[in-house]
Chain A
């Protein structure tokens, strides 16, 4: 089994070291413009929210997979899981908020022991629920195999990872056998109506480049994924979201080991797009960590950069007005969300 960077006490499991690498690893990185400077050039610094619309909860870093690009460093050996008490705090915050979308991520969010209970509670509040599924979990134990029906019952939007429409590239990034199991899960989701035009059961795929390159046009890639998956497997889905790999955690490890770090950062920075910067997801998202700590986004969560000190730090201190007035924390990894057509958990931002 591949171990997480944390388990093997890798240097890159230390967020401070990751940020140091991004800023100071080489002369060329030291000389690169800073993200703050790029925002200043377009009068966007300090970066502030436009209003929280998405309440993203990372319910734990435990996962049945250990993907090579994972920014969470998730895996079977991670035991950080959100407790029921913290989930109750999330519900309390949601009860008093107009936020419409609750986005559940991990790890494999389905592995949180309170997952089903929590989805039922959020559903009862009338919120839209997105589950970020790795697909393969839906083919493992019987309790997970039953989830597609459970998702359909609660109108949950299933947004799942599939980095490519073929086996070799998918398995290289996500582990041997992933593609076949993902296809099995997608067929199951299709069978109960997910991804079909005449149902309201939304099935979206997430594309991550399988190497040190940027995602191409989202629309064009969606067309190609639809053509290939339909032709090869008769699979249908609603949308493809292209997401740029951020240079942190395991993807940063890959960049360093493959000698691609400087060139990748150069590509991200050269492709800085002011329109994408204006639309970055941290402006309309709040990220809740497994222990209830609040972050500007899931990436800042992994870099242990909580929301600014003047804001509520923990979900139990929820105050939407104050959070909407916060200054968003930034660093060099943020160039990943502003390159080209932009990148967010919902795909491009321009």
Chain B
């Protein structure tokens, strides 16, 4: 066990995660690879979505990987920052929209 829960070098070991269960890992990586192929969405758009989601789940490995991936796929800094703001807006908005529940309950309880 390292001194830290997160070690940048561990990102490269992701592909070895099947060591304790190869069949499921193989199914996962096949699926994972297919998801990121050029499709109705371009590989660059998918990298930007992944970058946004990485920030939502606050996964350092994913942020590391999809920052590089976004750059490689030709995204600009502006596009990458906008993607992070999309994540931030949904995250913040998801808290705020629950304010309606609070308001409903408050109104139910109030004279």
Contacts and interface: CB of A to CB of B under 8 A. Distances in A.
A22 B29 CA distance: 33
A209 interface: yes
Interface in A190-246: 207, 209, 211, 213-217, 220-221, 223-225
Interface stretch (A146-154, A162-170, A181-189, A281-289): A162-170
A-B pairs with the 7 shortest C-beta distances? Answer: A216-B73, A216-B72, A221-B74, A213-B71, A224-B74, A213-B72, A213-B68
A315 B42 CA distance: 47
B63 interface: no
Contacts of A209: 71-72
Contacts of B76: 164-166, 169
Interface residues on B, range: 10 to 19
B26 interface: no
Nearest to B38: A220
Contacts of B43: 216-217, 220
A217 B77 contact: no
Nearest to A211: B71
Interface string B42-66: 1110000000000000000000000
A211 B42 CA distance: 22
Interface in B52-111: 68, 71-74, 76-78
Given A168-B77, A224-B44, A217 B71 contact: no
A84 to B, nearest CB: 42
A211 B75 CA distance: 13
Nearest to A217: B43
A169 B38 contact: no
B71 A220 contact: no
B44 A169 contact: no
Contacts of B42: 220, 223-224
A168 B81 CA distance: 14
Contact of B77 (A169, A214, A220): A169
B68 A217 contact: no
Nearest to A267: B68
Contact of A216 (B44, B77, B78): B44
A33 to B, nearest CB: 16
Given A220-B42, A220-B44, A224-B44, A215 B77 contact: no
Contacts of B77: 168-169
A325 to B, nearest CB: 38
Contacts of B78: 166
Nearest to B47: A216
A267 B78 CA distance: 25
Nearest to A263: B8
A166 B80 CA distance: 14
A220 B74 contact: yes
